[in-house]
Structure formats: C-alpha cells, structure tokens
C-alpha cells in the first residue's frame, strides 16, 4: 500500500478545496435570480457549453488576453496556470500508466516520484520523465518572473504591482514554495536513486556529490505537501479564489447573464474572479497621470471581498471604461462600481472565520432615499411643436462656439427645429445618476421626457455625449436620439449640407461617453474625413484616452484633472496637428485649457466648411475676426 503520513496535509487541502468549490458554486447558483438560473441551465447544457470550455482553456489557462496586452505578464500567468494544469494532467496519466494500479488517489500522482523512485531510467519512462521535468522547468521560469515582479514591476512591463494584505502574502508564500519544494524533493530523491531527467536528475547528482540527499529528501516532500495543503486551505480567503471562481463565471457570462443594477450572485462572482493581475491599474490614467493609485478596480474588488467601506474608492473614478475594456477576465468593472455608488457608505463588520469562508449574500443597506421630491418646483411645460429638437446640454452653454456652429448647421440644413434649452434647460439627469442618485435623476428624466413628448419631435439631436448616453439608455423615448456628429453625417449623406474641404490636419479625441460609453466611433471620423485630413493616433476607438474632465469623478481636484488633461493633450498633439478635434463640450473645455493647439468641436469644423449661403435668421455673424494691434500714436 503506497502511503506515507506526509501526504495528509495535501489530502486535507485538496478534499477541502473541492468540497468548498462545490458548496460555493451551489450557493451562487441558488442566489441567482430565476431568469438567470434558467439562463445558466441553458448555457450549461446547450451550445454555450462548448464556447465556455474553449474560453476556460484560452483564458483561464493560456491567458490569451493578458498575453496580447502584456506578453511577459501573460507568460507569467500562463506558465503557472497552464503549467500546473499540465503537471496535474500528465502526472495523473503517469501514475495511471506507470503506477501499481490504474485508478489512483490524487496523492499518488502528485507524489509519484516518492512512491516510484526507481522510475524513469530508460525507454518510454525516460521520455516521460523528461516531459515532466520540462513542465516543471516551464512553471519555475514563470515563478522567477513572479518573484522579480514583486521586486521590480518593470520586469513584466508594468509600472506598479498590486498591494497585498497579510493573508494574501501567506498564501503567496505557500504558493511559491510548492514548485521549488517539488523540485528539491524530486531532485534529492533522484540523487539518492540515480534517476531523474535533465532537471531533477542533473540537480540530484549535483547535490548528491556534497549533500546527504537521502536524509534531505523526506523533509522536502513534507514541505511540498504542507505548502500545497496550506495553499488550498487558505485559497478561499485570498485573491486566489479567482482560480475556481473564474470557471463558474465563464459559464455564467456565456449564458448571457449580466451585472444589471443590483448586487447579486453574479456581481459577487465577478468580484471573486478578480486575480489582482494589475492590468486595470496600469491602464488607469488616475494612476499614471495624477499619481492616484489606491482606487483602481482591483482595489475596489478587494475592498468588496473584504467587506470594507468602499465609498471613497467608488466615487474616485473617471468611469472612463478603460479598465473594463482591458480586464482579461472580462469583469464588468464599471457597472459594479455604479452599484456601490448607489449604495453609498457601507458598514465594516468583523467576521468570524466561518463567515469569511461562507459570507452572507452581499446586501448593503443603501442610504435612505429622500422621500419628498427634489425637483417639483420645475415649471410646467408647454413646448412648441417641431420635427427636430436640439438639446445643447448644460456644458455646451459654456462653449458657445459649439452652439453657434450648430445653429448655423441646423439653419443650413433647412430642418424644422427647436432649440430646446436655448434659455437654459433642465439637466439630462446623468450627473445625478453617476453620483448614485437614481431617484432624483428619474425626476429630471420624467420632466425632460414630457417636454420631448409634448413637442411631437421625431428626432432629438444633442451636442453632449453625457446627455446622449442617458437619452439612449434611460429615457425610453420613441424618438430617434442622435449625437450631433451622427446628425451631421446624415445631413452630408442626404446632400443637405454642402461642405468644402479644409486643408487642415486633424487628430480626433474620442469622448469616453460617446466612444466606449455608447459605441459611437465611426460617425465622427466619417464626418472629419469628409472635411479635413484626419490623422491616425495611437489611442483610438476603444483604446482612446479620457480627457480627465469627467463628471463621474467627484473627488479629484481641478489640479489633478489638469495633470491628466495635459498628458492626454500632449499625446494627441505630438504629431502637431492643426486642430485637435473632439465631439464633447466638456472634453473641449478640458483639453483647450491644457494645450496651445487649437481645440475645436466637430460642429465648429463643419460650420467653417459650409459652402451654401447661410439663411439669415437672427444668427449672429459667428466669426468676428480679431483686429491686429494698432499703433495709436
């Protein structure tokens, strides 16, 4: 009977973690909403199953997304995850083929060399031995990178590495001890018996020449078992919980479950799937431009997992979506942050160990909503009837060049339009939503919806992407909602606008709420290509930068915003374009203060290029030429 007491820690750890993973999965499944449960069942037993298996292989093991973003970091994760998988997989086959029986307890595979020290001298055994050594070497190369990454993050091309709590550090240590102790244990055993392949055999013979390898082997097998056991037992309390969770998450995601507005099993699964890889920290402009490095998504996830008060973290974010886009696990980081904003401050509670392993379903008492309506003093609405409503947006009133350009374009197009908020309108409601004040936002949404509905308009054109996003997502209007760049593109294609070509080199800055927030990438570029020489930039489309002016961040100071704006403006103007174009008044204001290059909205550029005579209808002559300074004497 192949048995030794040193395998007990390993056995305890392994059976515990299997048991734990099953129980936790059942709990999560139970906590899903009914429709989500159905989705998951369909996803598990239907076509998404294959998709999920493929994704588990490509992402959880191979870490393809991380490899694409950052090769060295990806290699590090790949070698540990995939390497360990290969070790287990081939180790099991090894025990199966070469062991005493065909079906073995797991420990026989893990500690194969201990129980079969004479194995591997020649023939197929030697080849197999070589293969196992190769896998181990693969893992150890990644381990070396991981160790270096803790000391100098630059070695994997990262600027910072995630900070760890104590329990994480203990688990990390035990994880790091696993493979070196396996290496040494196998080497000492190989040294004793004269077996082993290129790695273990060579090391074994080397050690045998000056160390008492026979005596040293046994303690290291103990160490191997203990480190494995410790790691498995501690796993649910640390960030390594992401290993089993990610698998369940992939099935859930591929079944079509989304985060939605509330906390639930799915959002909890996502917070546990975060491996703290740190890619979100590297992508975050608050980090590399303003030096703020304690509020990124990885820390939000960690704070949620540890039941800390995350309100300060939650509100200090530009909500630009860059981290969502780069997250290799595909966690919906921004929706989760929004959920925490709505909840306001949460309580910190000390938990017993049992509660740490099996936490209650996350229910945060949200701040008591204010009962009385906040905006019932708004005046009654009696708008003119019209076909097209133009809603400039609050911010646009502070960039009047956009308004006068849009007026010019609307007049030139000949549409029957009404300037909805000409004398000052009611805010669209999105700033309130971003601050988590959904109830108040709903009041404003109702008010504006009334106005829009009463006017009988078929189309709503807005100049502000912030407004655009909420009109599209939360207003439930049955009118066509267009950003003014989309409107202008339609006009050009219809032939309603005749434009000349301006010989100007233009770089386009995609606003976050229009780009990543609403998926409008092409229309602005089509319009710009029509009128100017649009240049390529390194930060385009989904990868574009955030200007820093975001309304979503309530906490940072103007100076910190300016640091972000300066970096972005410097990057976008590095090829010296004539104009830095954008399609958001807030972006325009923020970037204009940060660079000498002319910053203009697309509407302004188009207005300048209009060829047909403008119908004079009380529009001021928009481009008053500034006089040269005159000598008075």
Partner 1 sequence: MFSMDGQIVIVGGGAAGMESAGQLARSGYHVTLIEKETITGGHVRNWYHLFPDRRDSREVIKYFDDLINHKNITLLTGLKVEGIDKHGMSFIVNTNSGTEIKADAVILSTGFDLFKSERKEEYGYGIYDNVITSADLEVMFRKGEIKLHNGVIPGKIGIIHCVGSRDEKVGNLYCSKLCCVTAVKQAMEIKEILENARVFCFYMDIRMGGALYEELYRESQEKYGINYIRGKVSEVSVNIDNKLVIKAEDTLVGRPLKMELDMLVLMAGMEMSESSKSISESAGLATGENRFFSPADHHFGSNKGNVEGVFYAGTCTAPMNITETISHARAVVSDVIGYMNNGDR
Partner 2 sequence: MGNFGFTLIKERHIDFDANDKSIAEYISDREPSFRICIECGCCSATCTSGNFTPFSLRELQILLRRGENNKVKDEIRKCMLCGKCTLVCPRGVNTRNIVMLAREAFQKQEKYAV
Contacts to partner 1 by CB under 8 A:
397-401, 403-404, 558, 589, 592-593, 618, 620-624, 626-627, 629-633
Residue 613: name its binding partner from partner 2, partner 1, none (Cβ under 5 to 8 Å by kind).
none
Residue 394: name its binding partner from partner 1, partner 2, none (Cβ under 5 to 8 Å by kind).
partner 2
Residue with tokens 């009334």: 450
Question: Helices 48-55 & 242-254, crossing angle to 10 degrees?
Answer: 150
| Contact residue for partner 2 among 93, 147, 348, 398 (CB under 8 A) | 398
Among the residue ranges 16-24, 219-227, 299-307, 554-562, the one whose residues contact partner 2 (CB under 8 A)? 554-562
Instruction: Specify the 3-state DSSP secondary structure of 599.
Output: strand
Q: Report in angstroms how near the CB of residue 488 gets to partner 1 at its nearest.
A: 20
Residue 623: name its binding partner from partner 1, partner 2, none (Cβ under 5 to 8 Å by kind).
partner 1
Closer CB to partner 2, 372 or 617, in the complex: 372
Return the sign of the alpha-carbon dihedral for residues 486, 490, 492, 497.
Answer: negative
Q: Report in angstroms how near the CB of residue 550 gets to partner 2 at its nearest.
A: 10
| Contact residue for partner 2 among 431, 517, 524, 548 (CB under 8 A) | 431
Return the sign of the alpha-carbon dihedral for residues 7, 12, 17, 22.
Answer: positive
Nearest alpha carbon to residue 343 among 370, 366, 361? 366
Closer CB to partner 1, 368 or 423, in the complex: 423
Residue 503: name its binding partner from partner 1, partner 2, none (Cβ under 5 to 8 Å by kind).
none
Residue 368: name its binding partner from partner 2, partner 1, none (Cβ under 5 to 8 Å by kind).
partner 2
Size of the site for partner 2 (CB under 8 A): 36
Indicate the pairing of strand 480-483 with strand 459-462: parallel
Q: Report in angstroms how near the CB of residue 294 gets to partner 2 at its nearest.
A: 16
Backbone angles phi, psi at 574, to 5 degrees: -70, -20
Closer CB to partner 2, 230 or 399, in the complex: 399
Closer CB to partner 2, 332 or 601, in the complex: 601
Q: Is 511 in the site for partner 2 (CB under 8 A)?
A: no
How many whole angstroms separate alpha carbon 50 and alpha carbon 62?
17
Closer CB to partner 2, 78 or 599, in the complex: 599
Residue 632: name its binding partner from partner 2, partner 1, none (Cβ under 5 to 8 Å by kind).
partner 1
- For residue 444, give the H/E element and its range: helix 438-455
Closer CB to partner 1, 613 or 629, in the complex: 629
Closer CB to partner 1, 450 or 622, in the complex: 622
Region of 519 on the Ramachandran plot (φ > 0 left; ψ -120 to 50 alpha; else beta): left
- For residue 389, give the H/E element and its range: strand 388-391
Q: Is 555 in the site for partner 2 (CB under 8 A)?
A: yes
Closer CB to partner 2, 440 or 604, in the complex: 440
Closer CB to partner 1, 380 or 424, in the complex: 424
Closer CB to partner 2, 34 or 368, in the complex: 368
Residue 374: name its binding partner from partner 2, partner 1, none (Cβ under 5 to 8 Å by kind).
partner 2
How many whole angstroms separate alpha carbon 241 and alpha carbon 230?
14
Torsion of CA 582, 583, 589, 595, to 10 degrees: 0
How many whole angstroms separate alpha carbon 156 and alpha carbon 70?
8
CB 416 within 8 A of CB 388: yes
First to last CA, the chain: 112
Q: Is 377 in the site for partner 2 (CB under 8 A)?
A: yes
| Contact residue for partner 2 among 53, 126, 167, 554 (CB under 8 A) | 554
Q: Report in angstroms how near the CB of residue 504 gets to partner 1 at its nearest.
A: 18
Instruction: Specify the 3-state DSSP secondary structure of 346.
Output: coil
Q: Is 551 in the site for partner 2 (CB under 8 A)?
A: yes
Q: Report in angstroms how near the CB of residue 406 gets to partner 1 at its nearest.
A: 13
| Contact residue for partner 2 among 572, 589, 592, 599 (CB under 8 A) | 589
Tokens of 345: 């401050």
Other Cβ atoms within 10 Å of 502 Cβ, number: 16
Q: Report in angstroms how near the CB of residue 560 gets to partner 2 at its nearest.
A: 10
Q: Is 56 in the site for partner 2 (CB under 8 A)?
A: no
Among the residue ranges 27-35, 130-138, 365-373, 529-537, the one whose residues contact partner 2 (CB under 8 A)? 365-373
- For residue 434, give the H/E element and its range: helix 430-434
Among the residue ranges 71-79, 199-207, 374-382, 510-518, the one whose residues contact partner 2 (CB under 8 A)? 374-382
Site for partner 2 in 407-426 (CB under 8 A): 423-426
∠ CA 144-145-148 to the nearest 5 degrees? Answer: 90
How many whole angstroms separate alpha carbon 77 and alpha carbon 64?
10
Q: b/e string for 564-579 if b means 16 or more Cβ within 10 A?
A: bbbbbbeebbeeebbb
Q: What are the Cα distances from residue 95, in Å, to 105, 121, 125, 332, 544?
A: 9, 16, 12, 41, 52
Q: Is 379 in the site for partner 2 (CB under 8 A)?
A: yes
Q: Is 365 in the site for partner 2 (CB under 8 A)?
A: no
Tally the residues of the chain. 633
Q: Report in angstroms how near the CB of residue 617 gets to partner 1 at its nearest.
A: 9
CB 538 within 8 A of CB 570: no
Closer CB to partner 2, 213 or 441, in the complex: 441
Indicate the pairing of strand 417-419 with strand 388-391: parallel
The contact set with partner 2 (CB under 8 A) reads 344-345, 367-368, 370-372, 374-375, 377-379, 394-395, 397-398, 423-427, 429, 431-432, 435, 437, 440, 444, 551, 554-555, 557-559, 586, 589
């Amino acid at each position: 009977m192949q048995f030794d007491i040193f395998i007990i820690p390993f056995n305890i750890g392994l059976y515990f973690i299997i048991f734990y993973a099953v129980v936790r999965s059942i709990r999560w499944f139970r906590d899903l909403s009914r429709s989500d449960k159905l989705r998951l069942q369909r996803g598990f037993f239907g076509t998404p199953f294959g998709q999920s298996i493929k994704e588990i292989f490509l992402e959880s093991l191979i870490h393809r997304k991380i490899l694409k973003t950052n090769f060295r970091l990806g290699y590090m994760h790949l070698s540990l995850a995939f390497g360990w998988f290969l070790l287990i997989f081939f180790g099991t086959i090894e025990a199966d083929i070469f062991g005493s029986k065909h079906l073995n307890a797991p420990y026989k595979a893990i500690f194969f060399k201990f129980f079969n020290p004479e194995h591997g001298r020649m023939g197929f055994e030697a080849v197999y031995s070589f293969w196992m050594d190769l896998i181990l070497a693969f893992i150890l190369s990644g381990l070396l990178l991981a160790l270096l990454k803790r000391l100098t993050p630059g070695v994997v091309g990262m600027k910072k590495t995630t900070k760890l709590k104590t329990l994480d550090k203990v688990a990390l240590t035990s994880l790091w001890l696993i493979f070196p102790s396996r290496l040494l244990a196998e080497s000492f055993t190989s040294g004793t018996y004269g077996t082993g392949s290129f790695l273990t055999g060579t090391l074994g013979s080397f050690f045998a020449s000056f160390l008492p390898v026979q005596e040293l082997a046994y303690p290291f097998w103990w160490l191997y078992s203990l480190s494995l056991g410790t790691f498995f037992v501690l796993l649910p309390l640390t960030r390594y919980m992401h290993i089993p969770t990610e698998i369940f998450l992939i099935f859930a995601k591929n079944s079509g479950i989304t985060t939605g507005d509330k906390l639930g099993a799915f959002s909890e699964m996502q917070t546990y799937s975060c491996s703290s890889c740190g890619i979100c920290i590297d992508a975050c402009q608050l980090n590399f431009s303003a030096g703020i490095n304690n509020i990124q998504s990885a820390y939000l996830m960690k704070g949620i997992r540890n039941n800390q008060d995350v309100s300060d973290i939650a509100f200090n974010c530009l909500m630009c979506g860059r981290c969502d886009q780069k997250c290799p696990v595909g966690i919906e980081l921004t929706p989760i942050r929004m959920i925490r904003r709505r909840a306001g401050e949460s309580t910190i509670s000390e938990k017993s160990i049992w509660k740490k392993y099996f936490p209650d379903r996350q229910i945060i008492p949200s701040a008591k909503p204010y009962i009385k309506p906040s905006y019932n003093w708004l005046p009654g609405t009696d708008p003119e009837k019209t076909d097209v409503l133009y809603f400039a947006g609050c911010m646009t009133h502070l960039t009047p060049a956009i308004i006068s350009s849009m007026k010019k374009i609307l007049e030139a197009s000949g549409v029957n339009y009404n300037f909805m908020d000409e004398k000052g309108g009611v805010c669209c409601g999105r700033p309130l939503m971003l601050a988590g004040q959904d109830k108040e936002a709903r009041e404003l949404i109702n008010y504006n919806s009334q106005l829009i509905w009463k006017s009988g308009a078929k189309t709503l054109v807005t100049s502000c992407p912030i407004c655009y996003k909420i009109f599209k997502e939360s207003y439930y209007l049955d009118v066509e909602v267009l950003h003014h760049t989309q409107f202008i593109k339609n006009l050009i294609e219809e032939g309603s606008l005749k434009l000349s070509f301006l010989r100007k080199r233009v770089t386009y800055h995609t606003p976050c709420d229009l780009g990543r927030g609403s998926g409008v990438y092409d229309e602005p570029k089509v319009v710009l290509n029509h009128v100017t020489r649009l240049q390529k930039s390194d930060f385009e489309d989904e990868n574009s930068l955030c200007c820093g002016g975001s309304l979503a961040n309530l906490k940072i100071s103007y100076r910190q915003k300016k640091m972000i704006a300066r970096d972005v403006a410097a990057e976008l103007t590095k090829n010296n374009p004539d104009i830095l174009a954008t399609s958001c008044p807030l972006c325009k204001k923020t970037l204009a203060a940060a660079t000498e290059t002319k910053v203009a909205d697309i509407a302004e550029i188009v207005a300048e290029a209009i060829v047909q005579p403008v119908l004079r209808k009380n529009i001021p002559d928009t481009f008053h030429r500034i006089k040269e300074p005159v000598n008075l004497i």
